[in-house]
Amino acid sequence: MAEFQLDPAFVATSHAVIDLPLCEVRLQDDARYPWLVLLPRQPGLRELEDLTPAERAQLMEETIRAGSAVRAVGALLGLRIDKLNIGALGNVTAQLHVHVVGRRGDDPAWPGPVWGHSPAQAYDEAVRDAAIATARKALAA
């Protein structure tokens, strides 16, 4: 049986936060947006339809929890979150994943999508570590 493997694109652009019952959660390395990515830890997944109904329900619950964590990271960074954007695109990286992005009216991409808007701005290491710890605490609650 195949083993779950994280696509190298996620390793290059995000940082591990926590494993939830279904998903690995990662912090996207773009300090302009509080942004988590959820990746169901099963091999070969590309589409939501590849999950069982119970797994889809679990993914929804984990996505809601991630929204709370994104808001907590936003607060840590001094950013108010006006809207949570949730998306499962996969046009660039086909591995099934869900983005949970905290948006605000004054962010660089508002009101358009963050994807492809401009190059990411990496977190300062100390801020990144604090954001990971904040997200982890919110998700573990």
| pLDDT by 10s per residue, the chain, length 141 | 689 999 999 999 999 999 999 999 999 999 999 999 999 999 999 999 999 999 999 999 999 999 999 999 999 999 999 999 999 988 889 999 999 999 999 999 999 999 888 999 999 999 999 999 999 999 998
Euclidean distance between CA atoms 12 and 8, whole angstroms: 6
For residue 111, count other CB atoms closer than 10 A to its CB: 8
Q: Residue 57: its pLDDT value, please? A: 98
Superfamily of domain 8-107+120-140: HIT-like (3.30.428.10)
Q: Residue 81: its pLDDT value, please? A: 97
Q: Residue 2: its pLDDT value, please? A: 81
Euclidean distance between CA atoms 136 and 20, whole angstroms: 10
CA distances from 3 to 6, 90, 135 (A): 10, 20, 26
Euclidean distance between CA atoms 80 and 29, whole angstroms: 19
